[in-house]
Chain A
């Protein structure tokens, strides 16, 4: 059974550009969460989506947005990229929104902003 799939695995962008990261959850999982992990730090919560609705948002600027599709896959969009957005972006899926201990993480997308 496939795990959480994220694409692309690596990405290099220039300051000011826009980026879209994609996530496919485990089959049957309806909740997707996004985390940002800066090198040497723990992951920071960005968004959670459940049944296509935003259920939670972390302390990130409006340049960050996301959405969930009818097949439960998700996109994370970041506008006007800054050097500080360079990080590993992790997607996690779970069966429902309230079972955070049941997260399964993908391997992440490593974004480098130059």
Chain B
């Protein structure tokens, strides 16, 4: 079983729709949760990060973490064609020395005009 599971999609929605992206994880040591956006032929770009459980909002993006269910979500409101990309969830344990991010497989998202 992978430490982080993410539905690879692809996911295709019309412009303006609300998009929900999700990841589940098995390692209860994870405390930091991140969402990255990756455009084709580019490196991942940090969108959101949260520490422990709770919600965080930034513009059209909302990240949710439910540690009791080991489940994280990213919501995109009023989706735009420019949001078309691969979205990666990533996690890491409490910082102690070496840090690595554990990524999900990524969900390919297309927003249709």
Contact A98 B104 (CB under 8 A): no
Given contacts A41-B106, A98-B96, contact A4 B101 (CB under 8 A): no
Contact A40 B43 (CB under 8 A): no
B1-34 interface bits toward A, Cβ cutoff 8 Å, 1 = contact, 0 = none? 0001010100000000000000000000000101
Cβ < 8 Å to A, chain B residues 71-101: 88, 90, 92, 95-101
- How extensive is the interface on chain A, given as a class? 20 to 34
- How extensive is the interface on chain B, given as a class? 20 to 34
Distance between Cα atoms of A40 and B96 in the complex (Å): 30
Query: Which residue of the partner chain, among B6, B92, B96, contacts A42 with CB atoms under 8 Å?
Result: B6
Binding site for A on B (CB under 8 A): 4, 6, 8, 32, 34, 36, 41-46, 49, 51, 88, 90, 92, 95-106
